[in-house]
Amino acid sequence: MRFAGNRAHNDPGRIQRIRQGLASRLGTAFRSPAAASAGDLPPPAGGATGQIDRRKFLLAGTAGSAGAVLFSSPSLAALLTGPSVKARTAAATPATAGQWTAPFDLTLVSIHAVVLRTGSVLLFSQPSNGSVGSDAVLWNPVSGAITNVALSYQRDIFCSGMTVIPGGRVFIAGGHIYQGAANGIHQGVSNTTLFAPGSNSWTEGPVMDVARWYPTVAQLGDGTVRVLGGTTSPGTDAVTIDAYDPSAHPPLTVLPSTANKSMATYPRVKLTTTGLLAFTNAGTTCFFNPATSAWTNGPKLNSGTRNVNDTSVLLPGLTKIMEIGGTISTGTTATAEILDLSVSPLAWKPTASMNFGRVWANTVLLADGTVLVVGGGASGNYTGPVLTPELYDPVAATWTQMAAQAAPRMYHSTAVLLPDGRVLSAGQSSGSLEQTGEVFSPPYLFAGARPTITSAPASLGYNQQFTITTPNFASIGRVALVRPGSVTHSNNFDQRYVDIMYTSNGSTGLTATSPPDGNHAPPGWYMLFVLSSGVPSVARWVQVG
């Protein structure tokens, strides 16, 4: 499965479609009608008020949203058109299942997506023009405007790994040799590339010790970055780890050979609160200690390896890592399992399975700490699209089916949480809707009035008291810093949900305490949400660390 992507890269139809897409691209700004309708208007008030009530309701009403997938079976189709099911279908309202916009044109295939501190989303893929670099745009989720920020020189950052470094720039490691993707040559590069929001400028970063295709990047608590895994050439793993320090000269070093490890492509890696990097989608979980450059083995997945096409997430609370779906020995799986790092001895424990098996799905931490799994397919890269997302409640350990989206979002698709609490789902490098995005409004946006943040500090140190001014101080039930997403190939390198301790000051707002250290919240830009009765505010941007 490691090279499951090759078929897509070789697809001449896809390349032609991308070229056609470039021909139709507008140079600077553009707003599609659908994007306009996806603007930052307050959603209508919903009928349901309590999160628990909504969840119970959904359990009885899931058949409607699942219908698109289940209709492949005639007997199920007959069942689903029966009168009782029609009644339940009608009950699936935005307040219970969320709501999607229609697909809208993003002018490129959004294979990589990074949420920037400006609130815009950087989307990029391979070059569609043989003389310049990768296609890239900024999409403004509020206005729908699209700004072309394609690389002006011959660099292909498609199939790289990327993270937003503390100052807000995007650090991009590896990619494709120029024109490699167009010609089916999956050879990585040793280049790194930086994108600066605001000036929208690209610069070359330091060169890594080896070429990397499909690497993973992970930011540590001190703001430095490790680049792990990927292949140096087709079929040959990159075994070294590169360390990138944005504040140092020279900024990049190769770690001692004790750090070497064969990790295949896009390994799923998470920073733990003790400062270790946990590598979790192979058979045996491994922990890397950046202080000693040594690895130790942890527990085995119950499922065996889940391969490169699973999806994973560090859950709110920061002690539980969840592996979801992917390919196991019996094929595509709907199972999920959780490793709780706070429980000894360490062991992966099954949690509830999804309603659908999925490969190449994306996982998004929502503003209320629930987990949206969106897209993916039944097998392979583009087979059996699962149009129905599912929402995992980490407290109840339940999956709830959401409203179905219109476009398949399988291999080379992306999904990220937006600062207004909605979700962008985009891409997939095949099909007529590949250059589109869709925006999902979760049920919490139909559950009543949104709390507001009147003011909050623009920057925060660690373990520091600060004030959030909000007229909703009496009803706030949760405060969180959410690290924005940075995702490709079902692998989100950055997203993180950090709960914040707070008390109401009884008059104008909240007195809160910032995260204890960088291992809980690596330095950088975060979206600050306050929630009232499960309904999130629009986020404020806060620089932490």
To the nearest whole angstrom, how small is the minimum distance from the Cβ of residue 306 to Cu ion? Answer: 17
Task: Give the DSSP letter string of 328-372.
Answer: ETTEE---EEEEETTSSS--EEEEPPPSS--BS-EEEE-TTS-EE
To the nearest whole angstrom, how small is the minimum distance from the Cβ of residue 322 to Cu ion? Answer: 23
To the nearest whole angstrom, how small is the minimum distance from the Cβ of residue 186 to Cu ion? Answer: 8
Burial tier of 428 (Cβ tally within 10 Å: 0-12, 13-18, 19+): buried
Per DSSP, helices labelled H in 178-219 are none
What are the C-alpha distances in Å from 385 to residues 72, 360, 379, 452, 541? 12, 10, 9, 37, 35
Tally Cβ neighbours within 10 Å of residue 29.
13
Is the Cβ of residue 412 or residue 450 nearer to Cu ion in the bound state? 412
Is the Cβ of residue 69 or residue 123 nearer to Cu ion in the bound state? 123
Is the Cβ of residue 490 or residue 537 nearer to Cu ion in the bound state? 490
Question: How far is 354 from 214, CA to CA, in rounded Å?
Answer: 27
Tally Cβ neighbours within 10 Å of residue 190.
17
Is the Cβ of residue 237 or residue 368 nearer to Cu ion in the bound state? 237
Is the Cβ of residue 5 or residue 127 nearer to Cu ion in the bound state? 5
Map the footprint of Cu ion across residues 2-31, applying CB under 5 A.
Answer: 5
To the nearest whole angstrom, how small is the minimum distance from the Cβ of residue 301 to Cu ion? Answer: 23
Is the Cβ of residue 65 or residue 425 nearer to Cu ion in the bound state? 425
Is the Cβ of residue 15 or residue 338 nearer to Cu ion in the bound state? 15
Is the Cβ of residue 360 or residue 529 nearer to Cu ion in the bound state? 360
DSSP state of 294: E
To the nearest whole angstrom, how small is the minimum distance from the Cβ of residue 412 to Cu ion? Answer: 6
To the nearest whole angstrom, how small is the minimum distance from the Cβ of residue 289 to Cu ion? Answer: 30
Amino acid in position 314:
L
Is the Cβ of residue 111 or residue 424 nearer to Cu ion in the bound state? 111
To the nearest whole angstrom, how small is the minimum distance from the Cβ of residue 373 to Cu ion? Answer: 19
Tokens 């140092």 found at: 248
* Size of residue set near Cu ion by CB under 5 A: 1
To the nearest whole angstrom, how small is the minimum distance from the Cβ of residue 215 to Cu ion? Answer: 12
Is the Cβ of residue 5 or residue 443 nearer to Cu ion in the bound state? 5
To the nearest whole angstrom, how small is the minimum distance from the Cβ of residue 236 to Cu ion? Answer: 17
> Is 175 in contact with 232 (CB distance < 8 Å)?
no
What is the helix (H) or strand (E) element at residue 310, kind and residue range? none
Q: Tell me the residue nearest to Cu ion as measured from the CB.
A: 5
To the nearest whole angstrom, how small is the minimum distance from the Cβ of residue 159 to Cu ion? Answer: 5
Question: How far is 167 from 224, CA to CA, in rounded Å?
Answer: 12
Interface segment toward Cu ion; rule CB under 5 A; list 1-9, 317-325, 350-358, 533-541: 1-9
Burial tier of 245 (Cβ tally within 10 Å: 0-12, 13-18, 19+): middle
> Is 95 in contact with 447 (CB distance < 8 Å)?
yes
- 3-state secondary structure labels for all residues of 226-265: EEECCEEECCEECCCCEEECCCCCCCEEECCHHHCCCCCC
Side-chain half-sphere exposure of 72, counting CA atoms within 13 A: 7
Per DSSP, helices labelled H in 81-197 are 83-91, 94-97
Beta pairing partners, 104? 437
Q: Is 437 in the site for Cu ion (CB under 5 A)?
A: no
Q: Which residues bind Cu ion (CB under 5 A)?
A: 5
